[in-house]
Amino acid sequence: MLTFETLAMLVGLAMLTWDCVEVGRNDAANLVNAVFGARVLRRRTAVLIAGVAVVLGASFSAPVMETTRKGLFDPTVLKIQMAIAIYVSVYFVDTVLLYGFSGFGMPVSTTALLVFEVVGAALFLAGPKNISWNKVGDVILAIVLSIAISLTMSFLVMRVFRGAVRDKADDRDTVLLHGPWIAGAILTWLTWFMVFKGLKNIELVNDLRESVFKVYGDWVVLLAIWGVFTLLIHLVLVSTHQRGYKYLFSVTAVLGMICMAFAFGQNDLANAASPGLSSFTLWRHGGEPTDLANLGTEIPIPPWALFICGLLMASGMLTKYAQRVTRAAVNTGSQFDHVSLYAPEWCQRFAHWCRTRGTPHEPLAPKVALSETGKKIHYDTLRASVITGVSASVIAFASGLGLPVSTTYVAFAAVLGTGMSDRVFSRGDADLKLGRAIWVVTCWFLTPVIAIVATGCVAVLVYRLSIAGLFLCLCWNLAARAFFHHRADAHERRFHKDVHPADQEGGDSVPASGEAYRTEEPRLD
């Protein structure tokens, strides 16, 4: 007969598989926003490339994984049954929240969700004394600071680069003059990102950091790398004549996407996998259900398991709901006047109030244009490069300080920061776009409360009712998913029902007159 611990472990491993797909459906979908928005690649192509990078990153992940969620609570003072109930409850709530947010096209952070779900479950079962509130405060502060830093840095960097290039990112003389030092700076950021975050578990990279970066100092080495990249790019542009300048910023944008996807698979994998693997370890090495959870701080993980988790994340990026997340984020920062988005009325009114406080200015973004297939180019390639480059560098900087940050929050803030720098919120559906951004950020701060309360209630049910609690919570999970599926699809039909005939074979086309339809929100590919 199956015991509660055995059944909970099996449910936890099954939900681990499910959760990896949901992480790819929402969190990982944000990796391709910049590249797709600039029409550098079709979304499916961008997703496939990013998916490969996610799988590789997962395969090169650390061979051990933290199980205590960075010290948020101590599982070793809990009974085995209670600790397993906490870990399984996290998945019951996490899969529902990620699925629901994805259906409505809302980007959320897997890191933030899992952190507060663990806190909620431990709080309701073990009490407030078992929670490390100082660590919880550090997590909240890191999240807020990462958003603020990404927003500010992307605004400043975009303003500097735009001041140099203006709207001539496709002009050969302009690119020859400013392209090398701009692209060199972006590649330097990406190099720093990979050294300090993406490849931090590789012994050769660690030796390089010890022998070069720590000996000569980070800033000296980075300036030298910048100079080398600038010279090499200049030589490439001169030697390639008419071809190189057209694809310079496209290449930097794609490289930025690959770097972020690699590190996402390598580091964010722990967020989705640790609860399930923790419950498995407790079941495998635990004793009686009433014994204390003798759980160490590390779990050995076979490489094949990391590879499979990476594949599951990549598969989630190809789903319909992942397209909604990408589409909404791209439209929020679009340089086109008219887009199709949803934002509550109060968000739009608040956005209008914020916009009218200052003096209106003309947008700095290039004139709106269409791709060769007649689809909207929401960003130019320079802006796409800044989004990926700044996002990568902010994540690297925070990681170097040991602060937990969210790829989703940082990337979305970079889209908003570059958009404000280019003044895309100054005309057309500005209130709608800015209102959508306000609504997304508001949901970011509401999500922790929802996660804490929901996971706490589920954990109590699972722990008190044992196997019956598992069955009830699984039924609730499936029912909640069905409810969100129905509501999200109804929302989609209501706000994105009118698609121009030209859009039936692809996304974001506009009529021949050049004016976008107000209700347009077509498919992406």
Phi, psi dihedrals of residue 429, rounded to the nearest 5°: -85, 45
DSSP-derived letter for residue 31 is: G
3 C-beta neighbours (distance < 10 Å), count: 13
pLDDT at 307: 82
pLDDT higher than 50, residue 68: no
At 105-149, the pLDDT tens digits run 999 988 888 889 989 998 998 888 888 888 888 878 888 888 898
Provide CB contacts within 8 A for 239, sequence distance 6+: none
Per-residue pLDDT at 506 exceeds 50 = no
Better pLDDT: 153 or 405: 153
Q: Write down the mean pLDDT value for the chain.
A: 82
The answer to which of 83-97, 303-317, 358-372 has the lowest mean pLDDT is 358-372
Name the β-bridge partners of 79: 292
Instruction: Please give the pLDDT value at position 387.
Output: 93
Which range (32-36, 388-392, 401-405) has the least confidence? 401-405
Give the confidence band of 521 by pLDDT, cuts at 50, 70, 90: very low
Strand, helix or coil for residue 486: helix
Residue 56 lies in a domain: yes
**Is the pLDDT confidence value at 290 over 70?**
no
Q: For residue 376, list its beta bridge partners.
A: 370
Domain limits for position 263: 4-501
Residue 40 included in any domain = yes
**Tally of structural domains, the chain:** 1
Distance in Å from the first CA to the final CA of the chain: 50
The most distant pair of C-alpha atoms in the chain lies apart, rounded to whole Å, by 76
φ, ψ for residue 131 (rounded to 5)? Answer: -95, 135
468 is a domain residue: yes
Question: Which H or E run contains 291?
Answer: none
Residue 111 to residue 405: CA distance in whole angstroms? 8
Q: Examine residue 523 and state whether it is found in any structural domain, yes or no.
A: no
Query: Quick check: 195 pLDDT over 60?
Result: yes
Q: Is residue 69 part of a domain?
A: yes
What is the rounded average pLDDT of the residues 437-466?
93
pLDDT in tens, 279-289: 777 777 765 65
Q: Which residue has the tokens 């698609």?
A: 499
* 40-54, 83-97, 368-382, 409-423: the lowest-pLDDT one: 368-382
Q: How confident is the model at residue 514 (pLDDT cuts 50, 70, 90)?
A: very low
What are the CA-CA distances from residue 175 to residues 72, 294, 447, 518 (Å)? 49, 60, 43, 35
Is there a domain that residue 118 lies in? yes
Q: Give the separation between CA 334 and CA 115, rounded to whole angstroms.
A: 32
